[in-house]
Amino acid sequence: MMHRIGVGNFFSFVAAVAGLSAAGMATAATLEAAAWAITPEDAACHTDLELVSRSGAIAPIALISDGDRVALRFAKEGVPSQAFLPIRVDGKPFANLVQRTGEEGLAVMNLSDETLAALRRGKTLQVAWLANEAVSASLSGAGQGIADLRTCGAQVAGQHRTREAELDAQRARTQADARVKAVADEQLATARAQTAAAEAERQKVAAETQRAQAEAEQLAAQAVQERAMAEEAHLRAEQDRQRAAAQQAYYGGNPYAYPPPQTQAQSTPYGYYPRYYYPR
């Protein structure tokens, strides 16, 4: 059994369907916008995009930003060190400078302000030279996605600069401490060398002084010995002279006379003294 639907009810139904459709489109747009996932790196942030060809081949790219600039990063074999290549936004070409990075086959395209503005407003991104055939991707949500990308990049880059500044300050302190320690070690080594040299000189002077003192003592002892020997020789000479003088006085110069009585008395036992005869 069929029921009639009034005009008012029909328009209410149409409005409801349109509302559901608009809500569905808003939800789809929200989901597409949410697909711009931002991922922090060391000093920047990036979001990954997949460009698809008519045959279904996928060419991945990434938009990266440090807050100041936005670049398109991609991988392609045989990419030149520098090139000026176009990308298309809604069919309109925008050429930008491409530079190869240090990694093999990896390059970045620095996007101009004009290109970024087109990406924010555009619907489709197309690249003809990235793969064997043209590839494209939807730019739905690109306005908010690029804004979030630059905000994330600015924060991460600021933190990176802060860390680098701290590391630079730490390295500077380490280098300054190393220089101070090197100077202190050099001064200490110089002081030790001077002390060792002074001690060696002192020991050398002490040894020379001791050797000179020993030589002086040896010379003094030798002089005393020589003086004693000289005195002894002088004493013997004096005794000989006195004895000769006594003999001369006693014998009157006669060399054939007997020895003096004292000499005989000293060698004669029992106090016997012989008689002496003197020639006439």
What are the structural domain ranges in the chain? 33-154
Classify residue 69 by its DSSP letter: -
User: How many Å apart are CA 192 and CA 85, to the nearest integer?
Assistant: 69
Architecture of the domain defined by 33-154? Sandwich (2.60)
106-110 and 124-127: which strand pairing? unpaired
What's the confidence (pLDDT) of residue 259? Answer: 59
User: Which residue type does 241 have?
Assistant: R
135-138 and 124-127: which strand pairing? antiparallel
CA 81 to chain centre: 34
What's the confidence (pLDDT) of residue 59? Answer: 94
Handedness of CA 227, 231, 236, 237 (dihedral sign): positive
Stated as kind and residue range, the H or E segment containing 73 is strand 70-75
Stated as kind and residue range, the H or E segment containing 99 is strand 92-100
User: How many Å apart are CA 229 and CA 235, to the nearest integer?
Assistant: 10
pLDDT score of 5 more than 60: no
Q: Is the entire prediction scored with pTM above 0.85?
A: no
More confident residue, 212 or 11: 212
* Nearest one of 63, 86, 40 to 145, comparing CA atoms: 63
User: How many Å apart are CA 76 and CA 20, to the nearest integer?
Assistant: 44
Structure-token pair, residue 10: 């029909």
More confident residue, 20 or 88: 88
pLDDT score of 199 more than 80: yes
Q: pLDDT digits over 12-57, tens only?
A: 433 333 333 333 443 333 334 446 899 999 999 999 999 999 999 9
| Angle of the 142-251 helix axis to the 113-121 helix axis, nearest 10 | 140
